[in-house]
Amino acid sequence: MITTPDLIESLVANAAPVRRLRPPVARAVGWLLFAALMLALLAISHEVRPDLALRLRQPEFAIGIAASLATGVLAAIASFTASIPDRSRRWLLLPLPALVLWVSTIGYGCLVNWISLSPSLPLGDEAGCFALLVLTGVPLSLAMLIMLRHAALLAPTRVAISGGLAVAAVTATALSIFHEHDASAIILIWNFGTAVLLVALGGAFGRRMFSWVAYAGK
């Protein structure tokens, strides 16, 4: 085993200048701008659902989309802040109110549309849905992973769960903008299922993914 003074010597020898991280909120804004860019590109390639203006006038849809967007923004800020060692982990609770609102609109949607729940979606529709999720979710997750790689040695699981929530919420927002809600309950369940899946993946593999990115970067 290397002795501690030797370790200090070798660390000093490797003390190249480093660039300080920008304030967490600024970094969160950076990530959100990237997310906005992704959504804009999707809006150009896909088309925004034709009935968007109409649906936005419906309060439960507007509240749902606003809640999911707010969850994404707050969860991103929470992840970037909580990844700094000396910040309180209570920051991770920041997206909670928006999350509760979002989940309750999903629940409400399910309740209202329970009767109109059609047994199954056409297969192509579900595939398109899934493609959209992957198209937004993967780049956003990767960007978040790389931007938060310093959390690998600190609090990977907590930060990964929060980051997963941010990605899920933004992805769900994209889904509501681009995908027609003909079988709205199913889409809502899809939304929520994806969110749970992403958060669970973040919790299960976040530690491993973070350490992978952290070591690959050296």
Catalog residues that contact another protein under the rule CB under 8 A: 1-2, 4, 7-9, 11-21, 23, 83-86, 150, 153-155, 214
Which of 47, 81, 64, 82 has the alpha carbon at shortest distance from 169? 64
Task: Name residue, tokens 């290397």.
Answer: 2
* Residue 82 Cβ vs another protein, minimum distance, rounded to whole Å: 11
Nearer to another protein, 21 or 36 (CB): 21
* Residue 21 Cβ vs another protein, minimum distance, rounded to whole Å: 5
Percent of residues in the chain assigned helix, strand, coil, to nearest 5:
80, 0, 20
* Residue 2 Cβ vs another protein, minimum distance, rounded to whole Å: 7
Length of the chain in residues, anyone? 218
| Residues 106/200, Cβ–Cβ less than 8 Å | no
* Residue 25 Cβ vs another protein, minimum distance, rounded to whole Å: 12
Distance between CA atoms of 181 and 175, rounded to whole angstroms? Answer: 9
